[in-house]
A and B are shown apart, each in its own frame.
Chain A
Amino acid sequence: MAAGYAATLSLSRPGSAVSREAGAVCRNAAAVVEQRERSVALFGVKSVALSELEMLAAECKEADWDGYGAESLHPRALSLAKEIIRSLPDDLPMPTMSVEPDGCVSLDWLPTNGRVFTLSAGKTDRLPYAWLDGTDRGHAVARFIGGQLPPRIVREIRMICGDDASVWAA
């Protein structure tokens, strides 16, 4: 469930309402979001992750950035990756990020050897993800809608990164 700043983030995005008043609610919420993003305590870790993403984007903006014919980073993938970072619950660690040869952004959580959660931000709002926990593994696709990471993905990242991963895998 969206709560706190996550709910405000969702409110700050244009939705299906069209009235001027809906726009006023959106703008006021955006001002709260902007205030939050200026805070080091509230947003510092995410701010660093977003800067890292910017550096990656600059490195991979031209095709063949890897010398093996890779596609240039797709702008939609970059903006989606940024939205995912912004929407991560505060108790989750930041992922390691890389650009894939198909121009998508890979967000990876690797808490220990043998435990991996990987998510791909691509050209649409569909997010392919996969996980590995010891000998157990799985993969699926979920949609990123309304600026919120699907609860199923959040739950699985938490499982992989948390102490209760073994319970989940049993």
Chain B
Amino acid sequence: MNESSLQLAKAPIIEAVLDIDCDLPLSVDQELLEKSARDALRDRYPKLRKQSIQEHVWTHNGIDAPEMQMMERPGALQFLTEDERQLVQFRPNGFSFNRLAPYGSLDDYLPEIESAWRLFEELAQPVMIRKVGLRMINRMLLPLSDGKLVFSDFLQVAPSLPATGLKLGLVGFLEQHLAIDEESLNRVNIVKTSEAAASGSLPVILDIDAFHPCDIPPPEWPVLLARIESLRNLKNRVFQHTLTAQCLNLFSPVV
């Protein structure tokens, strides 16, 4: 059942990420890939940021002073729009499309995602898809009352403390739940965590990562799109049923 009727005028979404994790051929020519992608994306994504992964390894034999070795290897090629609110990533293990706030609706970005994915497919020639994921990171400012917050007013499943009889107050939390939809076999990783309170409100991050592990050769776009829509439906339902009506009202539901 689709449940995408909820529309929020002030949606708390900070970042949306569409990930397609793939195995790339072992013989990818990184320089050629970078040049071809840059040429093709220059108009829409004029900025290129080359991510590199640094690893620091300390070794210690228990006697001599510890020794540190640093390694660096190429990470993602990040192609950014002029305002840096949108990017396409060609990663060593796949493709990502990121949209930072302000975020409209996934429908607004699907044509762009399709176009960028087709380019990635043409240039990087992925041989196998391992995962399709749709992640939405939301930041909600929950209003404090006299410096306190009743979490259950805002969250359907609220963090709580044991009833110790002491004056214990919650000052931070990280909750993670991993679930599977037995019908679609989609999975969802739901994370709720708090940040430091400021200006009369408590920032709470709700990070919903709906994903589908798979081992298939890259399918035609309509097949991928159907999977993305299915993940979107799961993500929307989790969002809507994680928050109370009072919380949803903070984001001005469109009636």
Contacts and interface: CB of A to CB of B under 8 A. Distances in A.
Contacts of A17: 15, 17, 98, 135, 137
Interface stretch (B3-11, B106-114, B186-194, B242-250): B186-194
Contacts of B162: none
A24 B193 contact: yes
11 contacts: A1-B187, A7-B176, A8-B176, A19-B14, A21-B14, A21-B207, A31-B174, A54-B59, A57-B57, A58-B60, A75-B71
Interface in B33-76: 55, 57, 59-62, 64, 67, 69-71, 73, 76
Interface of B: 14-15, 17, 19, 21, 23, 55, 57, 59-62, 64, 67, 69-71, 73, 76, 78, 87, 89, 91, 93-94, 96, 98, 100, 130, 135, 137, 139, 172, 174, 176, 178, 180, 187, 189, 191, 193, 195, 205, 207
Contacts of B64: 58
B191 A145 contact: no
Contacts of A24: 193, 195, 205
A75 B17 contact: no
A35 to B, nearest CB: 11
A11 B59 contact: no
Contacts of B71: 75-76, 79
Nearest to B53: A14
A16 interface: yes
A59 B93 CA distance: 33
Given A61-B67, A78-B59, 20 more contacts: A2-B178, A7-B178, A16-B19, A16-B91, A16-B94, A17-B98, A19-B100, A25-B191, A28-B172, A28-B193, A54-B59, A55-B62, A58-B67, A76-B55, A78-B57, A79-B71, A125-B93, A143-B23, A145-B93, A145-B130
Contacts of B172: 28
A32 interface: yes
A18 B87 contact: yes
A22 B91 contact: no
- Chain A facing B: main interface SS: helix
Interface string A76-109: 1011001000000000000000000000000000
Band of interface residues on A: 20 to 34
Contacts of A143: 23, 93
Contacts of B94: 16
Nearest to A143: B23
Contacts of B207: 21-22, 25
Nearest to A152: B215
A54 B68 CA distance: 12
Contact of A19 (B19, B137, B187): B137
Contacts of B55: 75-76, 79
Closest 3 CB pairs of A and B: A58-B61, A19-B15, A16-B96
B15 A55 contact: no
Contacts of B195: 24
Given A25-B205, A75-B71, A16 B178 contact: no
Nearest to A76: B71
B61 A59 contact: yes
Contacts of B19: 16
Nearest to A31: B174
B98 A28 contact: no
Contacts of B14: 19-21
Contacts of A7: 176, 178, 189
Given A22-B15, A61-B67, A145-B130, A11 B176 contact: yes
A55 B178 CA distance: 37
